[in-house]
Structure 1
Amino acid sequence: MAGQDLCAYSVERRGQWSGSADKVTLSYDDRILRRKRLATDGGMVFRVDLPAVTHLEAGDALSLEDGSLVEVAAADEALLRIAGPGLARIAWHIGNRHTPCQIGDNWLLIRQDHVMADMLTQLGAQVQAITAPFTPEGGAYGVGRVMGHSHSEDDHDHDHDHAGDHQHHPAHE
């Protein structure tokens, strides 16, 4: 395709493909996309034009129109490693704030945030700033990504009206 970039129109999920030609390293935020121009770690520029907004996981591959594959890797990011007693309780507080979280056997990873670090320290967590790839848990039923959301009257849709019959947590107003 002389004169124009190759295009990826589909994704092959981790474990469902083999034989990548190149790799693209993306942050957690950059791994959600539909249309975008990317450059591989080897310098090849290509376009992505997926049918819908898609969350790419580390280990997925973008399938280019010429049949080649570009592996998706998670970029190093500024994170907080959280450990200590009461980790389940600490995880609840992280989830209650709709914060993406990667879960290990005896640790949690979240994106670096001084407010969260202060809160978690007050809860008794051991909090350490690190740099590492970030691959948090998916959304409900392990599909997709956890997205923060607003709880303003005009910006959400759960099954109730706003006739004053309930209150939201102050952080969600």
Structure 2
Amino acid sequence: MRATDHDHKGHGRGAPLGRVTLAHDERTLRRKLLTLEDGTDVLVDLPQTVKLEDGDVLVLEDGRHVDVAAAPEALLEIRARDTEHLMALCWHLGNRHLPCQIDYAGARLLIGRDHVIAAMLEGLGATLAEIEAPFSPLRGAYHEAGGHGHHHDHGHDHHH
């Protein structure tokens, strides 16, 4: 089986053929053989590299689809004293070009575990906890200028 397209979560495609669970750095794909949770192999053969998020789908040549799930990863949960402190912590992480997930609802930042960065953050007054959770860091400013990364007709009119 071959996946030749993808779609974003929330586009409601019905029951999937299967599911593949991937870490954040495994969800950047163009051409790769993936094994679904049930052992089925699917060749991803996309026209360009895409960054898949939790809940996105890979679309097979025959129209069926495979759900993409974010795998739990070893992360550092970072909490700040207040909003100003949180912004300063974001600046320090961004200055080091680290993949970072901003959880607005939980008022926390998530990054991959790194003892050197953990020591820096503790020195800056952050509260840290080691957790296991799916990781969906923000994309960089230069990742996909001008769009959301795929160019095909969904068959209905909408905007992202």
CA distance in 1, matches of 2:103, 2:29: 26
- Answer yes or no: is 1:111 the counterpart of 2:112: yes
Output the amino acid matched with 2:134. Answer: P
CA distance in 2, matches of 1:126, 1:141: 30
CA distance in 1, matches of 2:68, 2:135: 13
- Report the counterpart of residue 155 of structure 1 in structure 2: none
What TM-score results when the alignment is normalised by the length of structure 2? 0.82
- Report the counterpart of residue 156 of structure 2 in structure 1: none
What TM-score results when the alignment is normalised by the length of structure 1? 0.76
- Tell me how far 1:9 sits from its aligned partner: 0.6
- Tell me how far 1:21 sits from its aligned partner: 2.2
- Tell me how far 1:53 sits from its aligned partner: 1.3
Q: Secondary structure at the match of 2:136?
A: coil
Larger RCO (CA under 8 A, 6+ residues apart): 2
Structure 2 unaligned regions, length at least 5: 146-160
CA distance in 2, matches of 1:135, 1:41: 20
Q: Is the 8 A contact 1:17 1:61 kept in 2?
A: no
CA distance in 1, matches of 2:10, 2:144: 16
Equivalent residue in structure 1 for 2:67, among 66, 71, 80 = 71
CA distance in 2, matches of 1:131, 1:44: 27
- Tell me how far 1:119 sits from its aligned partner: 0.5
What does 1:83-162 align with in structure 2 at a 5 Å threshold? 83-85=79-81, 86-105=85-104, 106-140=107-141, 143=144
What does 1:46-61 align with in structure 2 at a 5 Å threshold? 46-61=42-57
What is the Cα-based RMSD across aligned positions, in Å? 1.6
What count of residue pairs does the alignment treat as equivalent? Answer: 139
CA distance in 2, matches of 1:83, 1:141: 27
Identity of aligned residues (%): 49
Equivalent residue in structure 2 for 1:45, among 37, 41, 44 = 41
- Tell me how far 1:141 sits from its aligned partner: 8.2
Structure of larger gyration radius: 1
Structure 1 unaligned regions, length at least 5: 1-5, 145-173
- Answer yes or no: is 1:80 the counterpart of 2:76: yes
